[in-house]
Structures are given as C-alpha cells and as structure tokens.
Structure 1
C-alpha cells in the first residue's frame, strides 16, 4: 500500500499537479462563508471499503515506522556516537518519505462524502498539519532549515561576565551554564551581560533561515487548503472557537497576574533599585531568574513573603533516608498504583535509562518514550537524588501511564485528546505530588502543613511557576500566527510588543529588528508548537480539581492530595484510555460532569484564591496594579520612524538616553 519502492516519479508529479489544481479551484472560495473543512484538499474517492483498507494498512505501517524511528532515536540519545546519529537520521528521512506517501494517498479520498464518522476524522487528520504537500525539493529544504537552526542553537557559546573588567579568555558558556547564572546571580551587571550575549548570539545568525522557514510552512498550509500556517496550527484543536476561548481565558487570569507582578516589582525594586526596575512600569527581562523570563520561580529569596517558612525542599530528608534513583521510580509507581492505575511493565524496568551511565555520552534531558508496539515504554533520565528529580520522575511516569492506557487504539488515536492533554495530565499529577501535604503523608516533610505562612509561601512559589508562565506560554504561537498572516518585516518589534502588552516584560537594553529574540527559546527554531503548554497549564488545574472532587476532598484546592484515592484514579483513567479517539470537548464534559466542555482557567483561579486575597492586601498602597506602558519602554524595541529622509529625532534621542543610562548605571 505505502511501500516506498512502489511509487513512480510520474505518479508523484500528476498527484501534485492535481493537488495544485484543486487548490486553485478552492482558493476562490476561501474568503466566502465556507467552513475550513470545505477548503481542505481532498480527492474524489468516496468508497468506504477502500478507505477502511487504506487506514488499516496505514495503522500497521505507521506503528512499525514509529518503532523503527523511536528505536534509532533511543540508541542515539543513550549512546551519542556518530554511527548511531547516522542511523537515526536515516530512519527519520525514511519516516519523512513515508509521511509524504501517506498524504498523497489520503488526499485521493473525498472524506466529506464518506458516511463513517471515524473514517472521516482519521482521513482529515492525515491530510492536515503536515508539510508533505510540498514538492520534494522544498520539503527537503524545510527540514534542512529546521536542522540548521537547531544546530545553531545547540552550538551557541557566550562569554562570561568580567567582574574585574578584563576580557575573558574563553567564551564557552552553553545554555545550561547560562540558565544557572540567570537563576543564581543577583548581580544586575552580570545578568544584563549574559542576557544580551545569549540573545545576540542565538537569533541573529538564524534570522534569514527563519524567514524562509515561515515562507515554506505557509506554502504547505495553503496547498493543504488553509489561509496560512497559523490557521493550520490552530486546526489541530478541531474547534473553530478555540483561539477566542484562549484569549478570554488569559483575560480572566490577568487580574491575578497583575497583582503578582505588582508585588514582585516592589520586591525587585528593593533589591536592585529604581534605576534598574521602573516603578509602576514593566519588568526588565534579565532579573527574573530565567533567561526567557518565562517563569520567576528562581527568585524565591527575593519575593517569598515569610523567610522563616521558606524551605519546602525535601532533598535533605531523601538523602537522610538513603534514597536511590531506583527507589524514586518505585515510589512514583506506587503513587499510580495507589490510584488503581497500572504498574510499570517488565520492559520498562529492563530497558529504561534511570541513571546516567558511565563511559558514554547521553542526552540527560528527562523524557518518556512510547515505542508504538503496545508493550515497550521507557523513561530516559539521569536521575539524581533530590526533590526536583523526584517530581520529574512522577511527571514522566504519568506520560507512560497515558501511553499504556491508549496502547490498543489505532495509531492515529494514540495521543492526547488534544495537543495539550499529555502535559496537562502529567502536571495535574504533580499538583498532588509537589505538595506539603503529600510530602508529609509519604514521610518526607515533618512541618505543620496548616500554618498560614507556610501555605502563602507555597502558593507564592507555585504562582511564580504557573501564573507568571501563563502569558508567556500564550504569546509564542500568537507571534507565529501573526508572522504567517502578516509577514516577517517586523518580527522582533512584534515579539516585544506582545510581551509588553500581555506579560509586562521589556528588554533590558535596546533591541532592533536586526535581532530575533524569540529564537532564544528553542521551540521557535526547532519548529515545536507552544500553545499546547498554555492549554496544559489550564488543563492541569481542571483535571486536579475533578480528581479532588471525586476523592471527596474538602478544603482549599492547593492542599488536595489524591494519593490512594481509587475514585480520583477512575477520573484519570477515563481520560487516559480514550487517547485521541474522542473529541477533547467530550472528554472535558465528562471530566466536569457536564458543567462545561471548554478549557477554562476557573479551577486555576480557585487554586490561587487565597494568594490573590493576600496579594490584594499587600498591594493596597500600590498606585499601579499591573504596569504602565511608558514611551521609553516602547522605544526600546519599536523600529525608528522614517519620515521621508528624516528619522524621528525623538525616538533616536529616547533610545540614546536609555543606552547612556544603562552604561552609566553599570559603572556605578
């Protein structure tokens, strides 16, 4: 059916010509009242039997291809040799060819006239959110561009800050070093230097490649029947109102976010002074403990309210009790079996990489793996004995539970109900695990969990991770959508305008459209959609609340721990076993007992309600809750205005004065 050797070049050319002709017919309808479904490229074959046979053969071959690629990727990730890398690239290239052949066969069907609902849905899934519609040369060019951008990102090295004023001998700091400095340093000058070094050296070298990448993804989307790549990305959620619903959800979160920002700003001013942090204004991106300012969880020493109730870290107790990496995984397994979920299969314990091996290079980033053969599931993690790794173990094992429960579904349905569900489920589990109440129940925390100060500190720490992250997670794909729709002429100024408007964050030094600061986040050059992380953020609280309700928990939502609740486990199992076979709205409707079928921030807001009330009392004397948009801040990233041959002297002056101010402050 899809055997790679059977395809003839002439058939490929005719098929592409047919697609382009059909697209030309459809494009005239794009701006009318047609539904997107009517625009998606499709053929004339409405034979249900042939469609069923095609999907049956696809299911077997796609599962086999997934196993081959996953196996090659695993071998390279756990033993980074050149031979393993070549094998992985060969398998990935074969997978790309397989995807193109699948698409070419799928578009011969007119799925709108096929009576079987499941067949229609699966055919539509195979013909959208794919670049297989591109000609071979452009398809290969796109993959090469992404590969090159990822290589640029991986090999960026920056210079350390010279505290003594001397030029450093080596500029060899990689991303992990950058992250550690941004998290731990409290020197404004060092943070400013590292921030600028990283953003200057990452985005600019890949800017032209990224522009071409946008052009090619748009071409693929338009051949598929979409207006642009952004519309096709949103189509993955199978909901015409999805984008509007997300915008409304962020508006609901904003009051809590603005209270948090106002409180954090005051604490930052106390630490760095008003020359670094503008009173009532946006926050400079370099002093929030994270190179992307995506969350603020690394500055608890600056912002946690009650110093005597600060320590939630159970690492010391884990070491005292003699924990090993294996025991950490066994503890996570016991958490899930206490809910009535499945134990890890023998293959998991036999094949997983639970510790960093000696004598070979490995990728240590923790990840869960599904080898698509319904029996082999693994975790790769260089586990160290500390609280952070313990939480990560539970998170990754939640992904394994998802894999195991939907393993018997067709290949196309072996995924989360929408792109955000996998992370949403895993994070919902962590709301019970990273919890003083849970740590006390499992013998890792001895303090009184009812203390008001401890609970406010805990909620503040969670808000720095979750609430601060919300607008950042939202705007990344909004930026990509805008580029796909309106072009790439002002990429950097658009990026910072979105960040200031939605996040209250500005660059610490002037930026121009020569830069590409969004590319400092790996998901941008690596072609990874990001909306799923915002969706997951909302989902984790919805799922957590539903599980707590099933467990008959009464009390503040942040104190709920569903450990040992079979009732809560049944709620989770109902999500896991359906995979992608049901529309995600149906899954949420069942999750909330019919109260809603939307992804909602309401559960998240209930979780943080005690903190919101505390923040309002702390901020009662603040003149501005949120941030004021100052012209000086806008001038940091807006392109200079041209009027004939004259530049806006005022804009130049503002940027010049700010640059002089930054230089002067760094010398004090």
Structure 2
C-alpha cells in the first residue's frame, strides 16, 4: 500500500504560474490520489471504530489502551495524508465535487496535535466518559445500597418518583459522583481542544465546531430562531410551573425559575414524564404507553423491529442481518459499558450497529427510532466517498429518526391536544437547553468563561434561557455541566437544536408529498399528518439522505423542502393549537409568564452547600 502511495505522490509536481492544461492535469492526478486516499481511509476508519466499539461496549483498561494505540496509529496516517493533501492547489480546481473532498481532507481535527498531546487529549475524554459511565450513587431509602447507576436506576426514579426529597437526593448525588472528578480533566481538555483548533487555522475550538455549518451567519440565525420560538416556550414554562406548584407547594415559587429536579429528567431537558399530572385533558388520558408496551410483551428487539417497520413502510432500507447480530440492545450484566445510546457506522458499507441499554419505556421506544434514523442515514450515503459519509450537517443526522415520531393519526380533538402537549414537553422544552449547552462551551473555548467561573456561568445560562434553577445553592466546587454526557464526551450539541427545528421543516415537506397536509385545507392540519406507508414521502427523504455531505446543507434542505434556510414557521404551525390553548389556560389561571431572578446562589469559592444526608 505504501509503495502505491509513493508512486502516486511521485507524480505531484507543482510549478508556479501554471497554465490551464497544467491545472487540468493536476485535477486528474488529484482524482487518482483521492481514489487511493478514500480506500485507505475507509480501512483505517473501520479499524478505529472497531477499537472504539470494543471499549464502549466493555470498559476495561486493556480495551482503553488498545483504543488509544489504534487511534495514535491512525492519527499518524492521517497526518501524513494531510501533508500530501496540502501539496495540491485544490482551491483552483474546477470540479466542485473534487474541491469539496479536498476541503474536507484539509481539516485534520485533533489529529493535528503532536503525538503525545493527542494521546493525552484522547485519554482525558476516555477518562471523563469512564467516570460518567461507571458512576454510582446510594439509594435514598437505603443508604447501604450504593449501586444505583444513571441507566436505568436514576433516570427511572426521576421519571416516576414524586417524592421531592428523593428527587433532590438523586439530582445532587449524581452531580457529586461525576462533576468534581471531571473538572480538572475538563480544563486540560479545553486547552488541548483549542490547540488542535489553532493547528487547523481556527482561532479556537468554538470556531472549529461552527465551521461545520458552512455559514458565517450561523450563530445569529440560531439566536433569531430561538427568539421566534421563545414565546411558545414561555407559555409551556408558565403552565408547567403552575401545575408543579399545585403538586409540590412552596418548593416551587409562583414567579421564579422551576427547580430542575422536579421536571422528570436528570438535565431538565425534556419534561414529558410530568405530563402524568399536567395533561390539558386528564380525563382523556390514554393508557400509559410504557404500560401498554409491557402489556404487549415488548422486548428491546421488538422495539427496534417496530422502528424498522416504519422506515420500511416509507421505502427506506431494512437493517442488515449483521445489525441484529452485532448491536447491543440491552445492558449486559457481566461488564460496564457506555450506556448512552449511539448508532455506529463501521465504514465498510455493510456493518452498522446500535448500542443502547434499552428499557421497555416510551422514552426508549422514541430513542430507538432516533438511533435507527442515524443508521438509515448511514445506509443511504454508504456509497459516497469517505469525506461525504456524514449528514448534510450534524443537525440533519439527528433529525431523521425524530421526524418519524411527529406522525400522528387523526383523533378526538382533546386527545390531539394531549398528544401535542406531550410532544411539546419533548420538543419545545428542549430548545433552550439544546442552545445553551454550546453557548456555554463556545464561551469556554473563547476564553470568555474561565475555569474559576465554569459552574456559576452554567447556571446563569440555565436560568436565562430555560428558567430553571438548582434545588440548592451551588459553587465552583461543583462542576454541573459534566453531569451531561455530551460535555464529557466532547460531542457538539447545537446539532440537536438545529435538528428540532429542521425536522419540522422536513415533516411539513414530506406530509405535502404524502398528500396528508394542505395549508389551505383545515381538515389536513400539519399536526395530524401521518407519513406511515407513504413511499412518495420516503423516496423524497431518501434522495436527500443519499447526498450525505456532498453538497452544502442549504442545497440538501432545498432538495427536500424547496427552501435553503432554517425556518421556525413549520414548528410554530405544528404547535399552533397548543399555543392557543396554553395562552387561554395561563390567562385563566393567572399564571406568571417568564420568571424572576432565582433565590438560589452560586458562589465562586470551592465550598458550596452540601446535600443533607437522610
């Protein structure tokens, strides 16, 4: 293989003042080089992902060392390849496809770091992931039982318990088990991430991450979208706070932020589980879907088969046999694994997997569709060159499985509103959290937030955008951002905000193609559209997915929706009946819209208020 590379590279001669024929000749050589490079990268990516899977599915020191060794080896190869890529005058190429592949190869990412620093950078992230994935806390009701992990124990308690003291215990102890152990590691990670970004000619890692969206105005667009969607969020916030106050009394203030531990989710990012006592029409409450899944003897495999059935019904692709053989769909009892649900592309065009510690719940049912949406995307663009085997942007990748869950059958108007409310507790409620996660990190990478104010600035943003507060005072001795997987695993998060906007644009376009939605026909509203079994909708989606990232995302968006920009009008249209109902209900209840400043404080010293033991 190396001999071939030498022969190919031996042809690369770059004389100054090249004539057009010389440029054309260089493009021909570049095409040959790319063919070789893509094949080589396919093999090295496969090697690397296999090592990463081995560690994520069995957290041992041996697997970690193997992963780091393979990663270091692949990084060396990438750096050599990158040096050759930079010898081409690719900016002058006339073929846009060729130029785009070279542009993607010209960005080396963290592999630009010197070998020792790269190894340290990867070890830090792996160590933070390990802390997160293996953390345990003690049971509120039995202090000698100290084996409660995030999945499934803590998520289940937060979703189902209505004991405020127990919820506070779980919320605080999880953060105690993760945050302080990660803070120093995170500081070092930030320095190395910024150094890698500078080696790629970016000012800092925030600029590096934002470059993926190929739009200089991107940050401003996101802020504009949030301002459009904020009025709807404020209505949901006011209504839920009113209901929580009825449930928990003075623990919830009338006009302040909502205590984060009462919203049914470890990060207060989705509030669906509190719909149990907040539904607009509680008398019309359908049987709990989680209970129904259990009653019908659903297994993890059956949940994923159900997701596959939907994709197949719109003419997308069934999962290959190896998917069912090699995926991990339930948490093993004999080893520690990274339980955070994830979809995996092994870059050989045939091996695709999901790793999920599936529980038989509605949330995991939805997550299964989400993860399988990733796999559908992998399958549709598998024949693209390696640099294009990714979403048009990462938000598109997150949207595919989610948009399936937006399909809804026609029903009694009160049931429809209940359903819209529950979707709103997932989708609208998530938006400010999806935004502030990276607002915080962008400021950290840019040096606007320094290590001595990490936690307090985090809570400033949580209060400003979400209107939530911690259940007790916090300090810089805590490091609450690390309680979220994507922070410790270095996964950019704005993709989820983008996803939650564009999936409604996709849904609207697909509903029109399915003949299920007509803006001029009140009998076909957007929120009652169901694309199940519509091959027209599926074929349109498939065309966009097959592009991968071979075109800028604006063009992929235009191919499916007819528009080149992100737009909040579809999501607002979908939730219009809910917004109207909430406005009337909040007015009737005299619910305060917005929130006053939190009475909880975050102090800059290392000493915060520690949770009282039971």
Please name the residue that 1:618 is paired with. Answer: 585
Give the deviation of 1:553 after TM superposition.
Answer: 1.1
Of 296-305 and 347-356, more deviation after overlay is shown by 347-356
Match of 1:343?
318
Match of 1:246 in 2: 222
Q: Does 1:97 align with 2:76?
A: yes
Match of 1:221 among 185, 197, 206: 197
Q: Deviations over 1:45-94 (max 9, x none)?
A: x9434433432222111111122233344455566677656544443333
Structure 2: segments with no counterpart, 5+ residues: 7-22, 518-523
Q: 1:3 to 1:189 in 2, by over 3 A?
A: farther
User: Given the alignment, which residue of 139, 143, 147 partners 1:172?
Assistant: 147
Distance 2:139 2:368 in 1: 33
Report the secondary structure of 1:97's partner residue.
Answer: helix
SS of the residue corresponding to residue 291 of structure 1 reads coil
Q: How does 1:99-248 map to 2 (within 5 A)?
A: 99-128=78-107, 130-161=109-140, 168-176=143-151, 177-248=153-224
Match of 2:570 in 1: 603
The aligned residue for residue 541 of structure 1 is 504
The answer to whether the Cα contact below 8 Å between 1:523 and 1:530 also exists between their aligned partners in 2 is yes
TM-score w.r.t. the length of structure 1 is: 0.80
Partners of 1:4 and 1:513 in 2: CA distance? 55
- TM superposition shift of 1:132: 2.2
Please state whether the residue corresponding to 2:201 is helix, strand or coil.
Answer: coil
CA distance in 2, matches of 1:194, 1:566: 46
Q: For residues 226 and 92 of structure 1, do their structure 2 counterparts lie closer, same or farther at Cα, with a shift above 3 Å needed?
A: closer
The 8 Å contact of residues 72 and 115 in structure 2, kept in 1 or not, is answered as no
What are the equivalent positions in structure 2 for 1:117-516 lying under 5 Å apart? 117-128=96-107, 130-161=109-140, 168-176=143-151, 177-274=153-250, 276-311=251-286, 313-314=288-289, 328-349=303-324, 351-353=326-328, 366-381=341-356, 388-432=363-407, 435=408, 437=409, 450-485=411-446, 486-488=448-450, 489-516=452-479
Structure 2 contact 269–430 (Cα < 8 Å) conserved: yes
SS at match of 2:599: helix
Matched residues in 2 for 1:534 and 1:85: separation? 32
Q: Aligned pair in 2 of structure 1 residues 527, 49: CA closer, same or farther (>3 Å)?
A: same
The 8 Å contact of residues 72 and 119 in structure 2, kept in 1 or not, is answered as no
Residue 597 (structure 2) aligned to one of 610, 613, 630? 630
Structure 1 contact 4–97 (Cα < 8 Å) conserved: no
Q: In the TM superposition, what whole-angstrom CA distance separates every residue of 1:98-135 from its partner, at most 9, and x where no partner exists? A: 33333333334443333332233222222336122222
| Structure 1 position 371, deviation (Å) | 2.2
Query: Who is 1:587 aligned against?
Result: 556
- Going from structure 1 to structure 2, the CA distance change for 1:390 and 1:193 (only over 3 Å counts) comes to closer
SS in 1 for 2:344: strand
Q: Say which SS state the counterpart of residue 227 (structure 1) adopts.
A: coil
Deviates more, 1:197-206 or 1:317-326: 317-326
Where 1:490 maps in the other structure, the secondary structure is: helix
Q: Secondary structure at the match of 1:573?
A: helix
SS in 2 for 1:369: strand
Matched, 1:574 2:523: no
* Corresponding residue number in structure 2 for 1:20: none
Q: Kindly state the Cα deviation for residue 387 of structure 1 after the two structures are TM-superposed.
A: 5.0
Q: CA deviation at 1:345?
A: 3.6
Deviation per residue, 1:153-209 (Å, 9 max, x gap): 23332233358xxxx234333222222222222122222222222223321222222
Q: Is the contact made by 2:449 and 2:457 (CA closer than 8 Å) also made in structure 1? A: no
Q: Distance in 2 between matches of 1:607 and 1:220?
A: 42
Deviation of 1:3 (Å): 8.9
1:237 Cα deviation after fit: 0.8
| 8 Å Cα contact 1:504/1:626 also seen in 2 | no
Report the equivalent of 1:65: 44
Distance 1:362 1:609, change over 3 A: same
Q: SS of the counterpart of 1:416?
A: coil
SS at match of 1:206: helix
CA distance in 1 between partners of 2:80 and 2:489 (Å) = 24
Q: Which residue number corresponds to residue 15 of structure 1?
A: none
**CA shift at 1:298, angstroms?**
1.7
Deviation at 1:285, TM superposition (A): 1.2
For 1:517 and 1:174, how far apart are their aligned partners in 2? 17
How far the C-alpha of 1:228 sits from its partner, in A, is 1.3
How big is the shift at 1:521?
0.6
Q: Which moved more, 1:331-340 or 1:248-257?
A: 331-340
Distance 1:252 1:350, change over 3 A: same
Any idea what the Cα deviations from partners look like across 1:464-494, whole Å, max 9, x if unmatched?
Answer: 1111111001111111111111241421121
**Deviation, structure 1 residue 313:** 3.8
SS in 2 for 1:120: helix
Residue 515 of structure 1: CA displacement? Answer: 2.1
- Pairwise CA distance, 1:360: 7.2
Determine the structure 1 residue equivalent to 2:14.
none
Describe the shift of the 1:514–1:592 C-alpha distance in structure 2 as closer, same or farther (beyond 3 A).
Answer: same
